[in-house]
């Protein structure tokens, strides 16, 4: 039996996505190990606390680069809400909180995905900026540095929480969607169910390229 597949992401998109995701996770891991004395043991695999700090600094640079690339690449499609269609989806909570016979259709990215993108973009930029001042703490007065640490931790808490929501919705919450960031393809029936308006737009523009593979 054959399955119909549609290419939905390019190799470059997947590269930026995973560079951002992996660097972000390593920053969370190393940051926790540095921040809390009780979690210093997390540095064992990196040779100790100094190793944690080194990895954290390297990942910070990679995260900053990948964040800028991601914002430049996805801002037009995922960074701007479109009304009234996005508002209709928001009022219906995308069909995740209660049963709906018909979920309001949106474009390539629904408001939930846009909210996650904007959260990562804004909190990520905040963490990059605050992290810079943590590298060079003498630039700002001590009173302002206190706020720098608070904002850095706040950004971590928000991104860390949203990560698990993103992980759930990209896997268990929407079966079949994770392949978009692995192989770059999604099965056509799954794509029609999750992004019906986008499929219609691609069909209308003649951009829907379907390939067949054996299941």
pLDDT in tens, 79-109: 888 888 889 888 887 777 777 777 788 888 8
pLDDT at 126: 96
What secondary structure letter does DSSP report for 175?
T
- 193 pLDDT more than 90: no
Structural domains counted in the chain: 1
Residue 174: strand, helix, or coil: coil
Q: What's 44's domain CATH number?
A: 1.20.950.20
Helix, strand, coil tally for the chain in percent (to 5): 70, 5, 25
CA angle 141, 147, 152 (to 5 degrees): 125
pLDDT-derived band at 166, boundaries 50, 70, 90: confident
- 173 pLDDT more than 80: no
- Residue 55's contacts (CB-CB under 8 Å, 6 or more residues apart) are 26, 30, 46
pLDDT at 53: 93
Query: Rounded to an integer, what distance in angstroms lies between the CA atom of residue 163 and that of residue 30?
Result: 16
Tokens 């706040």 belong to: 154
pLDDT-derived band at 16, boundaries 50, 70, 90: very high
* Residue span of the structural domain in which 112 resides: 11-176
Mean pLDDT of 200-212: 83
Q: Per the domain annotation, does 194 fall within a domain? A: no
Q: Per the domain annotation, does 147 fall within a domain? A: yes
Q: Per the domain annotation, does 206 fall within a domain? A: no
Between 66 and 106, the higher pLDDT residue: 66
- Residue 168's contacts (CB-CB under 8 Å, 6 or more residues apart) are none
Q: Per the domain annotation, does 191 fall within a domain? A: no
- Taking only the tens place, the pLDDT of each residue in 128-158 is 999 999 999 999 998 899 999 999 999 999 9
Element of type H or E holding 61: helix 49-78
Q: Per the domain annotation, does 198 fall within a domain? A: no
């Amino acid at each position: 039996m054959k399955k119909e597949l549609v290419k939905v992401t390019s190799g470059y998109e997947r590269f930026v996505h995973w560079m951002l995701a992996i660097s972000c996770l390593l920053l969370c891991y190393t940051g926790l190990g540095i921040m809390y004395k009780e979690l210093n043991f997390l540095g064992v695999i990196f040779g100790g606390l100094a190793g944690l700090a080194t990895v954290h600094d390297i990942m910070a640079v990679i995260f900053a680069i990948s964040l800028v690339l991601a914002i430049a690449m996805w801002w037009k499609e995922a960074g701007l809400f479109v009304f009234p269609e996005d508002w209709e989806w928001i009022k219906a909570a995308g069909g995740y909180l209660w049963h709906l016979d018909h979920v309001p259709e949106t474009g390539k990215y629904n408001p939930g995905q846009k909210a996650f993108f904007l959260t990562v973009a804004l909190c990520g930029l905040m963490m990059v900026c605050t992290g810079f001042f943590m590298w060079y703490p003498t630039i700002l007065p001590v009173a302002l540095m206190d706020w720098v640490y608070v904002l850095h931790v706040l950004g971590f808490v928000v991104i860390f929480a949203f990560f698990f929501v993103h992980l759930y919705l990209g896997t268990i919450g929407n079966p079949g969607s994770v392949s978009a960031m692995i192989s770059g393809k999604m099965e056509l029936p799954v794509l029609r169910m999750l992004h019906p308006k986008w499929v219609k737009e691609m069909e209308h523009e003649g951009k829907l390229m379907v390939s067949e593979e054996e299941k």
